[in-house]
């Protein structure tokens, strides 16, 4: 555990946010049991190197299960739309029913998958390496919000990024600040060639789908 921790903390400085830092700079409070669980499940050195080499950020999920609407209530200052938005509609089940589990490790890429913007959704999925998949909207939004909170700067703010979440009309949910002062959540057809593809690695595979 120590060598992997030192690697992420010292060698890959922007690749890791610790639970204690999350606690000290947010309203989240982990129990001692959760902190022990995060410590014991810290990635191996090989996985830590993979996380870094894939330009990923390793962060703990919140101490309680949260959906997208919970995140908006927790971090309203980081959302472009401060009041009710289209995804707050009862019809947008992804915003209510997709939860992050409590106190688990989450690894999400901080850069789009290479050349993915020129591909449609099915073509993007075909190019994903083994062991990688596209995060849900709640996971990507949490990554962006907690990074902005703790680091006081945005990540993934050049273009919209696709997620594995979808609307009732089976359109892809896309996320990104896109040059605006806050996180924008929108949607697009699977056949368009506009949004980048983000992928998740390693410990994301342990999260319930």
Q: How many residues does the chain have?
A: 209
* Residue 16 backbone dihedrals phi, psi, to 5 degrees: -150, 135
**Predicted pLDDT of residue 12:** 65
pTM tops 0.85:
yes
pLDDT digits 0-9 by tens, 10-40: 766 678 899 999 999 999 999 999 999 999 8
The answer to whether 199 and 132 are in contact (CB under 8 A) is yes
pLDDT digits 0-9 by tens, 124-134: 988 887 778 89
Burial 84-121 (b: 16+ CB within 10 A, else e): ebebeeeebebbeebbbebbbbbbbbbebbeebbebeb
79 Cα distance to chain centroid: 15
* Residue 155 backbone dihedrals phi, psi, to 5 degrees: -120, 160
pLDDT digits 0-9 by tens, 91-108: 999 999 999 889 999 999
Could you tell me the two tokens for 129?
């390496």
The answer to whether residue 80 scores a pLDDT higher than 60 is yes
**Predicted pLDDT of residue 13:** 65
């Amino acid at each position: 555990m120590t060598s992997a921790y030192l690697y992420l903390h010292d060698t890959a400085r922007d690749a890791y946010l610790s639970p204690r830092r999350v606690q000290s700079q947010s309203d989240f409070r982990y129990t001692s049991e959760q902190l022990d669980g995060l410590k014991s499940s810290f990635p191996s050195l090989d996985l830590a190197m993979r996380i870094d080499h894939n330009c990923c950020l390793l962060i703990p999920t919140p101490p309680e299960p949260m959906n997208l609407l919970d995140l908006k209530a927790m971090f309203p200052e980081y959302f472009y739309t401060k009041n009710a938005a289209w995804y707050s509609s009862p019809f947008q089940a992804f915003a209510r029913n997709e939860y992050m589990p409590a106190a688990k490790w989450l690894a999400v890429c901080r850069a789009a998958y290479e050349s993915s913007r020129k591909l449609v959704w099915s073509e993007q999925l075909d190019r994903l390496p083994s062991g990688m998949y596209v995060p849900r909207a709640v996971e990507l939004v949490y990554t962006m919000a907690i990074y902005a909170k703790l680091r006081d700067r945005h990540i993934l703010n050049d273009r919209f990024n696709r997620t594995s979440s979808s609307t009732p009309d089976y359109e892809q949910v896309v996320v990104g600040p896109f040059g605006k002062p806050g996180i924008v959540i929108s949607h697009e057809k699977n056949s368009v060639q506009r949004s980048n593809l983000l992928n998740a690695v390693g410990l994301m595979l342990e999260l319930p789908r």
